[in-house]
Structure 1
Amino acid sequence: MKRNKAFIFLFFLVRMFSFDVQSQENLPLMELITQIETKFEVKFSYSVNDVDGLLVAPLQESETLNEIIDRLNASTVLNFKFLNERYITISTIDKTISICGILISESDDLPLFGASVLVENSSKGVITDTNGKFKMSDVGINDTVIISYLGYQTKSFKASDLRMLNETCKSIAIQEQNEALSQILITKFLTTGLQKHIDGSTVLNTEKFGILPGLTEPDILQSIQALPGVESVNESIANINVRGGTNDENLILWDNIKMYHSGHFFGLISAYNPYLTEKVVVTKNGTSSEFSDGVSSTINMSTKNQISNKFSGGFGANLIHADAFLEIPISKSLALHVSGRRSFTDLLSSPTYDNYFERSFQDSELTSNSDNISESNRSSDFFFYDYSAKLLFDLNDNHKFRANIIGINNNLDYTESYQDTSGNSESKTSNLKQENLGFGASWSAVWSDTFSSEFNAFYSSYNVDATDYRIETDQRLTQANEVLETGLKFKTRLKLNNYLSFLNGYQFSEIGILNETTVTNPSYDITKKDVLLNHALFSELEYKKSNTYLRIGLRGNYFQKFSKLILEPRLNFRQKLSNQFAIKLQGEFKNQSANQKIDFQDDFLGVENRRWILANEQTIKISESKQASFGFEFNQNNWLIDVEGFYKLVEGITASNQGFYNNFQYENAQGSYNAKGVEFLLNKTANNFSTWASYTYSINDYEFASITPSVFPNNVDIRHSVSLAFNYNVLKNLEMSVGGIWRSGQPYTKPLEGNETVQDGNNTRVNYDVPNNENVEDFMRLDASMNYNFNLSESVQAEFRVGVLNVLDRKNIINRYYEVDPNDSDKAIQINNKSLGLTPNLSLRINF
C-alpha cells in the first residue's frame, strides 16, 4: 500500500514538473506581444481571434526584433509584417510557406513517381521525383493542395498540413481506386504520362503526357505506336498493325462505346480529342475476360470521370485544326464535360495540309489526271470535325451515373467541270462522308468494402456514304456502308480478401451491317443487310500478393443466329524472382464477328476502299485467335529491359479483307495467318530525360488451302523494326524530343516476267508472279519536336509546340502495285505509294 502511495506521489510530482517546464518554455502569444511592445517600443495590429490560444516560445535575451519576427513567421500559421519601424501587422492572409511531402502507395509503401501536386486555383504545381518526394515554395498558408495519381484516389490537403519544417517532409500514403485496372509497375514508361501495369497493359495518361518525336499534341493513336509490336506499315493510324494484325482486328472503345472509325484525314490524324480523354489502356495479350472482339488488341479510352468544383478548360490550334474543351461544375454532385474540334482546311491551306492531302489522296480520282478534264477544272474541299460531351452525376460517394455522346465526321466534296462541244459549261459534284456517332450510359455502385458493380449500355452508328458522279460517262455511283450496334454489360467484383478478387459479368450485343451500291447508266442496284446477336458470360479470378500476380478467366460467347458457342480462356501471370528480375506469361483466345472487306475495284472515289461486313459462317467465318507470349523484365535504377516472345494464330480470315494487290484480290478464299517473333525494349528514365530503343523481329505468314501457293508472306510481314528516341528537359519549361524509325519494307508481288498481263474475258489484268515474294525499300524516318510551357497568369497556362515529321525528307515507298499500261496492254506499269515528306506543324494551347 505504501509503495502505491509513493508511486502516485511520484507521478503527480513528475506531472507538475513537466507542466512547470512547459509553462516556462511556452507562453500565450498575446502575452509575448505585450512583452515585445514594451521591450522594443513597437505596436502590433491584429485580430484577437487570430492570436487567441496560440502558445509560442518566450523571449530570449539575445534576440533582436527582426529575429523574433522571423521566428514567429516560421513557427506559426500567422503572417507578421512590418508596416514601418514602429508598426507590425499580424494576419492570416498572404502568408506563404514552403511545403513538401513523400508520396507512397498505401498497399506496398513504394514511392510513386510522376504524381501531380497542384495548388488549387493557381498555376503552381510540381511532379513527384523517383523517390516520391515533392517540394514547393511560396504557397499560401490557407491554399488547398491537390495530389493526384493515375489509378489512385485523389487527395486534398491544407498547405499548412504539408508545411516543411527543418527539411522534414510528411509521408503521404494514398489508396488505389476500386476501378484501377491493376497495380502500376512502371510509372514513367518511355515518356512522362506512359505507365506500365503489372498485367502487361500500357496506359497513356494524356493530361501528364510528355512529347514524342514529331508530334505537336498527344495524338492517341499516333502515340501508342511508340510501343514495341505496334506500328502502321502504311503510316496511317487508321491502319494500326499490332503483332502482324490488320487494323480491323483492334477493339477500340471510348468510354465503353465500341467505335468503328478511328482516323481523320482518312487515317493520318486520330479521331479522338485527347484533352478530355484521361487515359488510354493498350493490351496486346492476356486481356481481361470482360473484353472480346479485336483478335489483335484492345485500345480502351476513358474520359475524365471525377467531378471538380473548379471551372476549367482550354483551347488551341495547329496548322490543320482548332479545338476547345470545358469542364463545367454545375453543383457539388453534377458536372458537364464538353469538347469540340474542327479543321479549317476547307477555308485555309497550309504546308502541313498540303502534305497530308497529297499523302491521303495519291492515286485517287482527286489527283489522277483525266484526258478530258484539266487540273484547272477540278476542285476539292475537305474538312473534318469531332465533338464529345459527358454528364457526370454522383448520387453519393457510392453511386455514380455517367452519360456520354461522341461524334466523328469527315467530309470530302469533289467537283469536275467541263465544256461540251456547244461551248456550254457543266459541273458535277461527288461527295464522300464518314460518320461515327456513339451514345453511352453507365452506373457504378459500391455496395460494401468488398463488393461493387457496374452497368454499361451503348449505341454506336457508323456510316460511309459516297456519291461518285463520273462526268465523262454521265454515270452516278452511290455507295453506303452502315453499321449499327447496341450493347449492354453488367459486371460485379467481389474482393475475397486483400489479395484475391472475383469478377463476373454478362454482355449482350446486337450488330447490324448494311452494304448498298446503286449505279445509273446502266441501272444497277444491290443491297445486303445482316444482323447478329451475341450473348456472353465472363468470369475471372485476380490474385495480387507480394511478388506474384495471376489473372485467370473464361468467357463464353453464344451466337444466336448460328447456335454456336465459343469458349475463350485467358491467362496473365507475372512472378517477381528478385527485386530487379521478373518473368511473365500471357495467353488468350478471342473472336470477332465483324471485319473489313477491302475492294480496290469498287472503292469510294478511289479514297476509301474498306467497308465493314458481318460473318455468315459460310463464305465469311467468325475470326478466332489464339495467342501466347513469354518474357522477362529487368528493372533497376530506372533502367528497364523488357524481352517478350510471342506466337499468334488467327483463323477465319478471308482474302477479301487482307487487301491483296495480286491475283488473289478477286478470290473468296478462307484461310489463316500466324505471326511469331520477339520484342525487345531498352528504356532509361530520369527526372530530366528519357531515352529508349526497341527492336521487333517477327515472321508472319498466310495459309490459304484453296490458293496456290497456299503459304506465303503476310501483307504486313515486317521482319525487322527498330525505333530510337531521346527526350530531354532543356529547361524546367522547355522539352525537346528526337527519334527515328527504321523497318523492313512491306512485301509486294511482281508481275510474271515475260507475261505481265493476261486476258480475263473482255478485260485485261496484271498477271502476278509468286505472291509477296519481293519487298519495297526499307522505311526510315527521323522526327523531332519541341514543347515550351509558360504562364500567362496565375490561373492561365500556355503551351507552344513545334513538330517535324520526316526531318530528312526521305522519299519512303510504303506500298507498290501494278496496273495495265493504258498505252500497251501487254505491259504493266509500276505504281508507288509514298509516305509523308518533310511535314512541319505548330500548335499553341491555352489552358485555364
Structure 2
Amino acid sequence: MKNSLILIVILFSGFSFGQKLSIQGTINSYIDGKTTEPLFGAEVFMKNAREGAISDEEGKFSFKTEAILPDTLIIRASGYYSDTAIISDRESVNFKITLYPEFVTDEIRIIAKRDNSSIMRLDPRNVENLTQGELRKAACCNLSESFETNATVDVSLADGVSGSKRIQMMGLNGRYTQLQFENIPFMHNLDQAFGLASVPGTWISSIQITKGAGTVTNGYESMAGLINLEYMKPDNVERLFVNGYGSIQGRAELNLHGGKQINDKLSTAWFVHGASVKAENDRNKDGFRDIPLGDNLILMNRWKYSSELFRGQIGVKASHTDQQGGQIGYDRYSNQSAQNLYGVGIRNTNVELFGKTGFLFKEDLFSSIGVVYYMKYNKLNTVFGNRTLDASEKRGYVNAMHETILGNTNHKLKSGLSFVYDDLVQTMEDNLPNDTIQRDFNRTEVVPGIFSEYTYTGSRSIVVLGARADYHNLYDWQFTPRANYKYDLTEHMDIRLTAGRGFRVSNYVTDNLSLMATNLPWYVDNDIQPEVSWNFGGSWLWDFKLFGRDATWTADFYHTFFENQLVVDRDESSEYIRMGNLDGSSFSNVFQTDIKFQPIKRFEIKAAYKFLDVRATTGGNLESVLMVPTHRGFVNFAYESRNLRWNYDLTLSVFGAQRLAKVMRPDGTFTEDNVSKPFPMLSGQISHKFKHFEVYLGGENLLDYRLENPIIDAENPFGERFDATRVYASIFGVNVYAGFRYALEYKKK
C-alpha cells in the first residue's frame, strides 16, 4: 500500500512537471496618477525554473515553463522598482503589471523632434519613412510631386502632350513598384497611367518607401520595391485644415479636410480636393500646350471604431479627372473633323470602397485576426490624336491574416488567405495614317492565395522568412518566397539583406499608355506571359557624430533580374514598336549612398548619389533601357529659424545622361541626339508659420531647364513620324507658386 501511494505521488508529480505553464501579459511604466505607457526591455522570469522573456515595444511578454509550483514570478527593469507575483496553480496566467520609477519627480517634460525622413531602425527591411514635415518642403499637390526632396524615387513626365507623370524606383518603371495605402494594394491596370494625381499630398500623413521585394503579407506584385501611404486618421486629424495653392502655370488647387470625435470609440474624417488648370501655355511656340487644361475633383470620407477587443475602419473615395491637351485651341467637346487639331483627352472616374477590421483576444494578448478589403470601379476614356482607348475595371481584394507568437515574443508567425478579383474590359482603336486597327484586350483574373511568414527577433538580429502560393485562373500556381535579415553590428550600425520573387500580369496598353503619343503602329506578340523577377540586395546604415551632432550614412545595392518581362522594343525597327515576351536577358543594378547631418543647429543637409545600370534585350542586343539616367546626384538644404516660424528649403538634383529612342524624321533622316545631356533641377521654398496659419512661396526648376523641341514633326501631328514620347525633362520650364495652410488642431472628447 505504501509503495502504491509513493508511485501515485511520483506519477502525479511527473505529470505536473511535464505540463507546461503559459504565462503572458503586459508591462507598463508609471508616468503620473492617470497615465502609463508600454515598457520595453523589462525582464520577466520564474525564480526557481529560471525561464522567462523580455517585453517587446508594446510592453508584451509571453513564455512557457515547466516550473514546480508554487514559484515566484520576478519582474524587473533598470531604473524601476522590481515586482513579484506568487504562482501556485497551472492555469494560464495573464498579467497586467505596472513598474514604478526609482526616482519620481513632480513633472518630467521631454521635448523631441522627429526626423522628417529616416530609416526605420527596428524594421528588418530597408524602409525610409517620410513624415508630413518632409512632404511640406515642397508644394506636394499630389503623390507624383511628393518625392521632390527624396533621392530614392524618380519622377518625370511620361510624354509631351498628356501631362501625366511616371515614377521610377531602382531604375525600373513604376509598375514594378507596388503601391498601397495603409497596407491595401491599389493602382492596378487603369490607375497605372494617371493614378498618381488622384492622391492629394495634404491627405498623406506619412510615406514608407521599401527597397527590395518586401514581405509576402503584401502580395506577390512587389518587384523593385514598395511605397505605402498613410492617410490622415479620423482620430488624429485636424478639426479643420485648408490649403490653397496657385502657380504661374495657371494651376489652382484647394484642399480641405477635417475630423470629428463622435464618442470615445467612434470618429470620422472627410476630405475634399479640387484642382483646375485654365491657362494655355506654349513657351516653346510649337503649337502644343505645355500643360493640359482640365479639372480634378476628389472626395473621401472615412470612419474609425475602436474598443478594447475590436478595431474597425471603413471609407469611400471618389475621383473624377477631365483634361484636354494637344494643340492650342483643341476642344474635345467640339466637332473633331471641323477642328482638324491634334488633341489629347483624358476622362478618368474612380470609385473606391476600403476597410479594415481587427479582433483581439482577452485570453491571448499576442494573437489577433485582421481583415482588409478593397473594391473599386474605374472608367477611363482617352484620346491621343486618332488613337482612342475606352476601358473599365472592376476590382475586389480581401486579405485575412492571423498573427500569433510561438512560445515567446521572439518568435512570431503570420498566416493568412487572400483573394483577388479583377475584371478588365479594354478597346483600343488606332486610326493610323495607313491603317485602322482595333484591339480588344479583355480579361478576368481570379486569384486565391495562401501565405505564411515567420519572424525571429534576437538580441542583435531579426530574420523574416515567408512564402505564399497563389492560384491564377489564367496562369496556374505561382510560388513566391521572400526573406529579410537584419543584424546590428554595433549599437549604431546595422546591415540588412533581402531576397525574393515577384510576379505580375502585365497590361501592355495601360502599362505603356504614353506610347499612344506616337503614330508608329504597335505590333504585339501573341501569348504575352506574366512578368517574373528576382530581387537581391543589401544595405548598410551608420549613425554617428559629425560636428558634434547626429548624422546618418547609408549605402545599398540591389540587383533585379527578370525571368520574363513585357519588353517594349524600339530598336528592332524605326517603322513600328514591338511589344512581346523577353527574348534574352533583362536586369537592373542599382547602387545608392546617402548622408544626412547638421553642420549647425537647425540646419540639415541631405546628400545622395545613385548609379543605375539597367539593361534589356531589344533589337537582338543587350541595350540600356530608354529614359533611365546612369547617374543621379542629389542635395537638400533645410533650415528652421530659432523661433521655429521660418523654414527654408533648397533642393538640387542632377540627372545624368540617358538613352533616347532613335526616331526617323519626316525627311528620312534619323535623330542624332539619342543620348541626352546631363541636366540640373533646382527647387526651393520659404514658409512662415503663425499660430494656426502658414504661408509659403516656392519655385520649381528655378534654373529654367527645359526641352525646346520635345515633339518630333509637331507641324504634322497626324503624319507617320509624329512622336511626343522622347520627353525626359520639363517642357514649361521654371514654375513659381504660392499658397497657404490653415489648421485648427484636433481635440478629443
TM (norm. structure 2) is: 0.72
Shift of 1:489: 0.7
Partners of 2:217 and 2:498 in 1: how far apart?
Answer: 16
Partners of 2:571 and 2:190 in 1: how far apart?
Answer: 22
* Paired residue type of 1:330: I
Work out which of the residue numbers 631, 639, 664 in structure 2 matches 1:728. 639
Q: After TM superposition, list the pairs within 5 Å mapping 1:259-658 onto structure 2.
A: 259-260=186-187, 270-291=197-218, 292-305=220-233, 307=235, 312-319=239-246, 320-346=252-278, 349=279, 381-394=293-306, 396-413=307-324, 414-415=330-331, 431-447=345-361, 448-466=364-382, 479-496=389-406, 497-517=408-428, 526-562=439-475, 564-597=476-509, 606=517, 619-637=527-545, 638-656=550-568
Partners of 1:425 and 1:765 in 2: how far apart?
Answer: 27
Q: Deviations over 1:566-609 (max 9, x none)?
A: 211111111111123222211111111143436999976x4999
Q: After TM superposition, list the pairs within 5 Å mapping 1:747-826 onto structure 2.
A: 747-750=659-662, 774-791=674-691, 797-811=692-706, 818=712
Partners of 1:831 and 1:478 in 2: how far apart?
Answer: 17
Shift of 1:659: 7.5
SS in structure 2 at match of 1:392: strand
Cα gap change, 1:334/1:695 in structure 2, threshold over 3 Å: closer, same or farther? same
SS in structure 2 at match of 1:739: strand
Partners of 2:190 and 2:720 in 1: how far apart?
Answer: 39
CA RMSD, 1 decimal? 4.6
Cα gap change, 1:775/1:105 in structure 2, threshold over 3 Å: closer, same or farther? farther
Q: CA contact under 8 A between 1:536 and 1:557: conserved in structure 2?
A: yes
* Paired residue type of 1:843: G
The answer for the alignment partner of 2:78 in structure 1 is none
The answer for the alignment partner of 1:693 in structure 2 is 607
Work out which of the residue numbers 832, 839, 842 in structure 1 matches 2:735. 839
Partners of 1:276 and 1:246 in 2: how far apart?
Answer: 25
Q: CA contact under 8 A between 1:660 and 1:715: conserved in structure 2?
A: no
* Paired residue type of 2:567: A
* Paired residue type of 2:687: N
Shift of 1:334: 1.8
Shift of 1:253: 1.7
Shift of 1:406: 1.7
Cα gap change, 1:542/1:609 in structure 2, threshold over 3 Å: closer, same or farther? farther
Shift of 1:810: 2.2
Q: Deviations over 1:630-663 (max 9, x none)?
A: 232111132111111111113432234x787963
The answer for the alignment partner of 1:667 in structure 2 is 578
The answer for the alignment partner of 1:169 in structure 2 is 108
SS in structure 1 at match of 2:490: coil
The answer for the alignment partner of 1:740 in structure 2 is 652
Partners of 1:387 and 1:336 in 2: how far apart?
Answer: 14
Q: Deviations over 1:100-121 (max 9, x none)?
A: xx99983259xxxxxxxxxxxx
* Paired residue type of 1:106: L
Partners of 2:415 and 2:354 in 1: how far apart?
Answer: 21
* Paired residue type of 2:635: L
SS in structure 2 at match of 1:462: strand
Q: CA contact under 8 A between 1:800 and 1:843: conserved in structure 2?
A: yes
Q: After TM superposition, list the pairs within 5 Å mapping 1:29-428 onto structure 2.
A: 106-108=39-41, 169=108, 191=116, 198-202=123-127, 204=129, 206-209=131-134, 211-212=136-137, 215-217=138-140, 219-224=142-147, 226-234=149-157, 238-260=165-187, 270-291=197-218, 292-305=220-233, 307=235, 312-319=239-246, 320-346=252-278, 349=279, 381-394=293-306, 396-413=307-324, 414-415=330-331
Shift of 1:670: 1.6
Shift of 1:720: 0.8
Cα gap change, 1:402/1:334 in structure 2, threshold over 3 Å: closer, same or farther? same
Q: CA contact under 8 A between 1:257 and 1:460: conserved in structure 2?
A: no
Q: Deviations over 1:137-173 (max 9, x none)?
A: xxxxxxxxxxxxxxxxxxxxxxxxx9986xx73689x
Cα gap change, 1:281/1:483 in structure 2, threshold over 3 Å: closer, same or farther? same
Q: CA contact under 8 A between 1:342 and 1:385: conserved in structure 2?
A: yes
The answer for the alignment partner of 1:89 in structure 2 is none
Partners of 1:588 and 1:216 in 2: how far apart?
Answer: 36
Q: Is 1:679 paired with 2:612?
A: no
Percent of aligned positions with the same letter in both sequences?
11
* Paired residue type of 2:420: S
The answer for the alignment partner of 2:327 in structure 1 is none
SS in structure 2 at match of 1:668: strand
Partners of 2:529 and 2:262 in 1: how far apart?
Answer: 50
* Paired residue type of 1:550: V
Cα gap change, 1:315/1:837 in structure 2, threshold over 3 Å: closer, same or farther? same
Cα gap change, 1:669/1:516 in structure 2, threshold over 3 Å: closer, same or farther? closer
Q: CA contact under 8 A between 1:266 and 1:608: conserved in structure 2?
A: no
Shift of 1:263: 12
Q: Deviations over 1:338-378 (max 9, x none)?
A: 101111434xx4xxxx66x879xx9897579xxxxxxxxxx
Cα gap change, 1:107/1:663 in structure 2, threshold over 3 Å: closer, same or farther? farther
Partners of 1:259 and 1:419 in 2: how far apart?
Answer: 37
* Paired residue type of 1:559: H
Q: Report the structure number with the largest CA radius of gyration.
A: 1
Q: Deviations over 1:674-693 (max 9, x none)?
A: 01131111111586122111
Shift of 1:243: 0.7
Shift of 1:314: 0.8
Q: CA contact under 8 A between 1:188 and 1:194: conserved in structure 2?
A: no
Cα gap change, 1:773/1:535 in structure 2, threshold over 3 Å: closer, same or farther? farther
Partners of 1:328 and 1:607 in 2: how far apart?
Answer: 50
The answer for the alignment partner of 2:58 in structure 1 is none
SS in structure 2 at match of 1:507: strand
Shift of 1:821: 8.9
The answer for the alignment partner of 2:249 in structure 1 is none
Partners of 1:237 and 1:559 in 2: how far apart?
Answer: 31
The answer for the alignment partner of 1:37 in structure 2 is none
Cα gap change, 1:218/1:105 in structure 2, threshold over 3 Å: closer, same or farther? farther
Partners of 1:103 and 1:328 in 2: how far apart?
Answer: 26
Shift of 1:546: 2.8
Partners of 2:183 and 2:233 in 1: how far apart?
Answer: 13
Shift of 1:610: 14
Partners of 1:427 and 1:342 in 2: how far apart?
Answer: 29
Instruction: Considering Cα pairs closer than 8 Å and 6+ residues apart, tell me whether 1 or 2 has the greater RCO.
Output: 2
Cα gap change, 1:363/1:609 in structure 2, threshold over 3 Å: closer, same or farther? farther
- Figure out how many residues of one structure are paired with residues of the other and give that number: 620
Q: CA contact under 8 A between 1:532 and 1:559: conserved in structure 2?
A: yes
Partners of 1:257 and 1:418 in 2: how far apart?
Answer: 41
Shift of 1:728: 0.7
The answer for the alignment partner of 1:175 in structure 2 is none
Shift of 1:477: 6.6
Q: CA contact under 8 A between 2:143 and 2:196: conserved in structure 1?
A: no
SS in structure 1 at match of 2:146: helix
Cα gap change, 1:768/1:624 in structure 2, threshold over 3 Å: closer, same or farther? farther
SS in structure 2 at match of 1:248: helix
The answer for the alignment partner of 2:85 in structure 1 is none
